[in-house]
Structure 1
Amino acid sequence: MKSSPFRWSVHGDGKSISPGTVVSPQERLSWGRTIGIGAQHVVAMFGATFLVPLLTGFPPSTTLLFSGIGTILFLIITAGRVPSYLGSSFAFIAPIGAAMNQHGMGGALGGLVMAGAVLAVIGLVVHIAGSHWIQTVMPPVVTGSIVALIGLNLAPTAKTNFEQGAVTGLVTVAAILLAAVLFRGLLGRLSILVGVLTGYLVAVLRGEVDFSAINEAAWIGLPEFHTPEFHVSVIGLFVPVVLVLVAENIGHVKSVAAMTGQDLDPYTGRALMADGVATIIAGTGGGSGTTTYAENIGVMAASKVYSTAAYWVAGIIAVLLSLFPKFGALIATVPPGVLGGAGVVLYGMIGILGVRIWVQNRVNFANPINLSVAGVSLVVGIANFTWTVGELTFEGIALGTAAALLIFHGMGLIARWRGTEPLDAAEDTGAQPSKLG
């Protein structure tokens, strides 16, 4: 029987989960419990998804609408087999900012559409040919470098916002860090949201928040829509981000497969295509580019519920919330100091996620090729090197990505040709383990 995104069997009695078992993507608990878990997914994605439009100047309600629509499309395209919420991708923050400076919001939206189209094509190729070739083209040393440079490239943006409200920004940073270690379960995983709310409260007390836009907004209405404009000069800004989205989506599918014990490899291509289509649609109407959300994996791991029915609920709730303009206006009142504080933590975390990829895959930096890939690409990305060729402008993320790919494959090719390909360094037999192992 073919998988259907609209059909779920009830797990057990629909009320409880037996020890050692999980609610699979094709199952659900009672609808009351499923709706409650779906609402948890909305809370989990909330802070991060709204932070992207606040940092880039996009309309928050529009971004929320398209994240909900994107989630529903993802569930349909993956035939209800891959549970995921498609929230705003932080990988697009730097390209959107650069494109906005050059061509305004329309140019940034055009870049999102182009990036989504490339991702959808890659998804189609993966669906037909499998995903093994991606590992060959983008091994962990390359993937980790790209993720790291995207996060660290945003450091100047965080500083600019932080300096506009240093006290509020400092409180926001402290609240995020404390929430991560003070609270357990869902609240601990929502440390960014807790920190932003705390910083917002301090900003209100300090008179840094302007509420006039809320009074002017209607209670019910459609979000603010914008149309894309297409410029050749933004291609170099957005296309490199696709490589990060590929890594994120593949990682998400593998994580869910490991936690549910199901073989989801046949759905990897569909997941990539779905995220590509969702990003295209978001770019067409004024929303931010999307990606699968690690925050929601945390909710699934804690609840043991991997039902795609809960994500249908989350997607529908997101769409309904986007139809309240006052809600979107309230989100848009978050001041720069709060955004700067959140950015300090968040951008640093994105950078370290790249390092985690190296660690998890035991990338050997005694190998000069790996060392060169990481070192050169990070400097290019962090310093935001820029190269203009005609109408095309390539900035730090694009050039850093190109550097990582060219150095890895170029040095490897020459080393194999010359017979100088470095071997892994032998273990140091004289080394003693530390207390941390």
Structure 2
Amino acid sequence: MNLGLRWKLYGDGSAPPPGEVVRPQERLSWGRTTGLGAQHVVAMFGATFVFPVIMGLDPNLAIMMSGLATILFLLIVQGRVPSYLGTSASFVAAAAAISPGGANPALLTGAIMVAGLVLALSGIVIHLLGPRAVLAAFPPAVTGAVVMLIGFNLAPVVAENYWPFDQWVGLLTMAFVILATVLLRGFLGRITILLGLVFGFVLSWLFDLAFGAAALPEGQGGGAAPRVDLSAVGEAAWIGLPDFHAPAFQASAVLVALPAVIALIAENAGHVKAVQEMTGEDLNPYMGRAIFADGLATSLASAVGGSPTTTYAENIGVMAATRVYSTAAYYVAAVVAVLFGLCPKFGELVAATPSGVLGGITVVLYGMIGLLGAKIWVENRVDFGNPIVLVPLAAGLIAGIGGVSLRITEGFALEGIALGTIIILAGYHLLHRLAPQSMRPAPGGGAGVHKPDAGAGVVLGSGVDAVSGDDAEHGSTGAGETGKEEREGGGADD
């Protein structure tokens, strides 16, 4: 059985000349491959450990499981789809509803585990029916609305949970991330979240020295506390296992988490299309495998208390810049991630991130997640003049973002993202079936224009950038790259 574990040496093992690429089943010398693997670690690092902190899960376990998930993914796709599986942002809104402030991580991971299994089953169906099944079930109008629901539902989390701890650190961190995203070029432009985290950490430490401890919000009992507390870092061991926990299951929690599956299907499909256009290989037969692999990885990670996973656009950006698509580099990155996960001292350092810093970062991230939904609409020319599109999406968005609740029984209610998604999905498909043929949107979701793979080219990634098939051809991978020079591979030497 071919697992994609054999790589042909590319030329003499040195970097490819301009216009040439190193294909997934090729590799450079092991020294250069190790260097590229380290670059992939840096690319995925910021979002992979920031999102577990935001969701109240163990960042050490998230890093370790991301490495194991990547290995599992590469084995299932037989080394044909080079991708790194980092922590998914798609479940952040569900975490805020199911386990606010990390109050019930077992219930959260149980809901994510079920969603992962549903994603895996979706991958099997897509593998059997073909990639067009993605578009039939989740046209761009629906996918964009669900992604928007996921992002904008998080606005109260920033306002109530993070920002009040230290508004000035939050404001300055937010400003840094915004400026860095626009001004930094190449590889640095893809790790602005990580840079913002470091900036906020240092700023909080300086504020402690200059102004003393920060006042705690009234809801936290008042008083004051230092912004940076590294006492737990000093007490932690250098080597040890992360904190595992078993999942717990509740129907209402599962319903809150399930809408994320739609976003995950779209982003996985989009990443496969992006890699296909960059490598020139036909990867459509592997799309179902990729979605199945991500679902299985998510369910396995959450089964031990880890974070959900997804393929990362940041790492696709590294490939676009370097023109090296070798899966050998991803195996190196995965092993490094597992080793990081076995360092409790590192985990405690991440957990010590000041709440004000998280406030500044999340106010940007959450908004970007929501606006990616609008990006899906724009790029697929969704026709909002058609009531089949306009009415169910309008109703679902207001119900989901506004917190409308539909009580089914005394202890069970549909609300938030779950209710909004049901209204959008059921309303769109019901109206599409009932309406006369002349009113039905084009298959691609646009204004009478059929795009064969529309809806599969726009992806959520980690929540901090997006890649379309057209962008990938030019090396455009994230919000940090602007201008034609970056899209044409700027930063290849970073």
The aligned residue for residue 416 of structure 1 is 436
1:278 corresponds to 2:291: no
Q: Deviations over 1:237-276 (max 9, x none)?
A: 1111111111111011011001110100111111111111
1:68 corresponds to 2:67: yes
Aligned length: 425
1:133 corresponds to 2:133: yes
The aligned residue for residue 314 of structure 1 is 333
Contact 2:22 2:324 in 1 (8 A): yes
Contact 2:96 2:154 in 1 (8 A): no
Contact 1:164 1:337 in 2 (8 A): yes
1:380 corresponds to 2:399: yes
Give the superposition deviation at 1:130.
Answer: 1.3
Give the superposition deviation at 1:420.
Answer: 5.3
TM-score, length basis structure 1: 0.93
Q: Identical aligned pairs, as a percentage? A: 51
Runs of 5+ consecutive residues of structure 2 not aligned to the other structure: 209-226, 450-494
Give the superposition deviation at 1:369.
Answer: 2.0
TM-score, length basis structure 2: 0.83
User: 1:22-421, aligned counterparts within 5 Å?
Assistant: 22-101=21-100, 104-160=104-160, 161-207=162-208, 208-390=227-409, 391-416=411-436, 421=440
Runs of 5+ consecutive residues of structure 1 not aligned to the other structure: 428-437
Residue 170 to residue 260, structure 1, CA distance change in 2 (3 Å): same
Deviates more, 1:295-304 or 1:393-402: 393-402
Alpha-carbon distance in structure 1 between the residues aligned to 2:76 and 2:441: 43
Give the superposition deviation at 1:348.
Answer: 0.8
Contact 2:386 2:439 in 1 (8 A): no
- Aligned alpha-carbon RMSD (Å): 1.9
DSSP-derived class of the 2:53 partner = helix
Letter in 2 for 1:72: I
Give the superposition deviation at 1:65.
Answer: 1.1
Contact 1:236 1:392 in 2 (8 A): no
DSSP-derived class of the 1:330 partner = helix
Contact 1:100 1:107 in 2 (8 A): yes
Q: Which has the higher helix share?
A: 1
Give the superposition deviation at 1:421.
Answer: 4.8
Q: Deviations over 1:316-358 (max 9, x none)?
A: 1000001110000000000111111111100111111111111
The aligned residue for residue 14 of structure 1 is 13
Alpha-carbon distance in structure 1 between the residues aligned to 2:276 and 2:2: 16
Alpha-carbon distance in structure 2 between the residues aligned to 1:426 and 1:293: 32
4+ residue runs over 6 A deviation:
422-427
Alpha-carbon distance in structure 1 between the residues aligned to 2:27 and 2:414: 47
Letter in 1 for 2:415: E
Alpha-carbon distance in structure 2 between the residues aligned to 1:212 and 1:23: 46
Contact 2:10 2:27 in 1 (8 A): yes
Letter in 1 for 2:326: S
Alpha-carbon distance in structure 1 between the residues aligned to 2:6 and 2:118: 31
Alpha-carbon distance in structure 2 between the residues aligned to 1:425 and 1:357: 14
Deviates more, 1:127-136 or 1:210-219: 127-136
Contact 1:142 1:373 in 2 (8 A): no
Deviates more, 1:196-205 or 1:368-377: 368-377
